[in-house]
Homo-oligomer: A and B are copies of this chain.
């Protein structure tokens, strides 16, 4: 892809599930973009997203879409286990890449692929959509502008309405890599790198989750490199809905990012009641649109998209440190989590 590219930029969407349709809607709202192809082994799904995006071609195999010479950029929203291979293929083919998190559940593999992306020099963005939520974006600007002074304490809560299916959990890499990583990435985004973690966790929601060696309820203590203190609490189940609350406290004040009622309607009857979000796509609908718009904007302006390879790698390393701390029942220094030597050589 030339920089800046001739417009419109021609996209392929790899994966035509819920996120494929969502990102398709985001793309079709951008005049700088033309979606030319959609790939999914389920033909009906591919056709549906092609109809939404007015894409001319559908493919069963995402590799065929990648190798279509018309395609300049790809959106990877296929199953997690395929991410690394598709990134690799796209990078080798010189395509710009937006990929849902994670690259891989494995640090060695992630390092290898991120290294390749950088060698090939293709634009790469990882799907930490919260960074494009208005509250987190504005919080970061305010922190950088010194509005809370020196950051001293960080606190994040992330709870989903209900756990995903066990089949999904088995290949998810565990609660820290799959769920808490959003809160951990926001910790890095707003406060900085983490030096050490101490995690506790348990199975409280579904005993089946214990059988696959995962936890569903966790709490982590964090020490940041800059001396700030942090906590992250997660649960796979909140009967009242989708619960994401983040607080940054410093010498000059504090910022709280907490979902307002989903609908601006308050009911006075038995108590005073409002509604809560029940679905991450509702809560972060605008953020999903904004991250795609930012990716496109970076491409058209020849800037590096963000968050990129470095954030994909470091947020994974942090999540892996939490996993190790929980497994070993002791504090773990984040920099002690490293790819295996062979991998490092290979990378």
Residues of A within 8 A of B (CB): 25, 28-29, 31, 48, 51-52, 54, 134-135, 138-139, 142, 147, 149-150, 152-153, 155, 157, 159, 198, 200-202, 204-205, 217-219, 221, 223, 227, 229-231, 233, 235, 237-241, 243, 247, 249, 251-276, 331
Contact A153 B217 (CB under 8 A): yes
Smallest Cβ-Cβ distance to A268: which chain B residue: B240
Residues of B within 8 A of A256 (CB): 265-268
Smallest Cβ-Cβ distance to A134: which chain B residue: B263
Smallest Cβ-Cβ distance to A330: which chain B residue: B331
Task: Tell me which of B201, B202, B272, B331 contacts A274 (CB under 8 A).
Answer: B272
Residues of B within 8 A of A275 (CB): 271-272
Q: Report Cα–Cα, A252/B239, bound state, in Å.
A: 6
Known pairs A150-B204, A240-B254, A255-B266. 12 more at Cβ < 8 A? A54-B54, A134-B265, A152-B204, A155-B233, A202-B229, A239-B252, A240-B270, A253-B267, A254-B268, A255-B265, A255-B268, A257-B264
Task: Tell me which of B159, B231, B264, B270 contacts A233 (CB under 8 A).
Answer: B231
Residues of B within 8 A of A251 (CB): 204-205, 237, 239
Contact A255/B267 with A29-B25, A218-B229 known, Cβ cut-off 8 Å = yes
Task: Tell me which of B52, B147, B159, B201 contacts A269 (CB under 8 A).
Answer: B147
Contact B252 A261 (CB under 8 A): no
Contact A238/B233 with A263-B135, A272-B275 known, Cβ cut-off 8 Å = no
Q: Report Cα–Cα, A231/B223, bound state, in Å.
A: 14
Task: Tell me which of B219, B223, B252, B276 contacts A271 (CB under 8 A).
Answer: B276
Q: Report Cα–Cα, A297/B259, bound state, in Å.
A: 30
Residues of B within 8 A of A201 (CB): 229
Q: Report Cα–Cα, A218/B229, bound state, in Å.
A: 8
Residues of B within 8 A of A254 (CB): 238, 240, 243, 267-268
Q: Report Cα–Cα, A231/B260, bound state, in Å.
A: 24
CB A206 to nearest CB in B, in angstroms, measures 11
Contact B221 A249 (CB under 8 A): no
Q: Report Cα–Cα, A266/B243, bound state, in Å.
A: 14
What are 21 A-B contacts defined by CB distance under 8 Å?
A28-B28, A31-B51, A135-B263, A147-B269, A153-B217, A155-B157, A198-B221, A204-B227, A205-B251, A217-B229, A219-B230, A219-B231, A231-B233, A233-B249, A238-B268, A239-B252, A243-B268, A255-B268, A268-B276, A272-B274, A272-B276
Contact B265 A253 (CB under 8 A): no
Q: Report Cα–Cα, A273/B231, bound state, in Å.
A: 24
Contact A139 B265 (CB under 8 A): yes
CB A81 to nearest CB in B, in angstroms, measures 30
Contact A238 B231 (CB under 8 A): no
Residues of B within 8 A of A237 (CB): 251
With most chain B CB atoms within 10 A of its CB, the pick from A257, A262, A272 is: A272
CB A258 to nearest CB in B, in angstroms, measures 6
CB A327 to nearest CB in B, in angstroms, measures 15
Residues of B within 8 A of A270 (CB): 240, 273
Q: Report Cα–Cα, A135/B201, bound state, in Å.
A: 28
Q: Report Cα–Cα, A279/B25, bound state, in Å.
A: 24
Task: Tell me which of B202, B231, B241, B249 contacts A159 (CB under 8 A).
Answer: B249
